[in-house]
Amino acid sequence: MASLPDTPLTEEQYLRLERAAEFKSEYHAGEMFAMSGGSTLYSWLAANLIMRLGPQLPKGCRIFTSDLRIKIPQARVYTYPDASIICGKPETFEDDNALNPLMIVEVLSSTTEAYDRGKKFELYRQIPSFKEYLLIHQDRPHVEHYSKQDAGGWLLKEYSGEESFEIARLSATVSLTSLYEDAFTSGG
């Protein structure tokens, strides 16, 4: 991510600029960072997950694309995950910033992998409703699923090859075979 302005921005300034911008930027405590576009595989994996997971969601849960901006108030952060799920009534700040995602999905890329695993996950964990984190690899059929436990810790389960992963909290299961179907062929 490349920093745009040199002086700290207020959240209000960021939102005004972001709403008028042609391209998305994230905001981190006074700094605005331009987001680069993802590869075709990156975008396809996020869309394929949405198509596979969306129809299985329980009533009252909705899946959102990367156009939904998430606000993390405690950290003064606005970010665009690759997909997110909100169950129940969406809580928003100024109508276009979600505050209560249950699940967040990131498709890993070489430029964002360290951030998605580290600082971004740390920031997301400040959201009280956040309980499921899915990291999707692009280089092979592999998914990392972090699930918040009742005691407060996070449990990691990894899935590879032809396995299926279950998100018990959502009563949903996705096979890696279907998620990565044609991903590594000329059509994917």
Nearest by Cα to 102 from 77, 116, 85: 85
Whether 163 and 107 map to the same domain: the answer is yes
Question: Do the domain assignments include residue 187?
Answer: no
The one-character DSSP state at 102 is S
Whether 110 and 76 map to the same domain: the answer is yes
Nearest by Cα to 41 from 117, 108, 103: 108
Walking along the chain (188 residues) 10 residues at a time, the average pLDDT comes out as 66 94 92 84 93 96 96 94 96 94 96 93 97 96 97 96 94 95 70
**The two structure tokens encoding residue 70:** 């998430």
Whether 6 and 54 map to the same domain: the answer is no
The partner residues of 93 in beta bridges, in order of sequence, read 97
Whether 26 and 58 map to the same domain: the answer is no
pLDDT of residue 147: 98
The partner residues of 95 in beta bridges, in order of sequence, read none
pLDDT of residue 38: 74
Nearest by Cα to 6 from 37, 40, 30, 36: 30
pLDDT of residue 20: 94
Whether 7 and 71 map to the same domain: the answer is no
pLDDT digits (tens, 9 = 90+) for 44-92: 999 999 999 999 999 999 999 999 999 998 999 999 999 999 999 999 9
Whether 116 and 62 map to the same domain: the answer is yes
Whether 9 and 68 map to the same domain: the answer is no
3-state helix, strand, coil in the chain (%, to 5): 25, 35, 40
Question: Do the domain assignments include residue 104?
Answer: yes
Whether 173 and 90 map to the same domain: the answer is yes
> Which residue range(s) make up the domain with 83?
38-179
**The two structure tokens encoding residue 125:** 């964990």
The continuous run of DSSP H or E covering 16 comes out as helix 11-20
Whether 15 and 66 map to the same domain: the answer is no
* Domain count within the chain: 2
Q: What is the CATH number of the domain that holds 61?
A: 3.90.1570.10
Task: Please tell me whether residue 180 adopts helix, strand or coil conformation.
Answer: coil
pLDDT of residue 6: 63
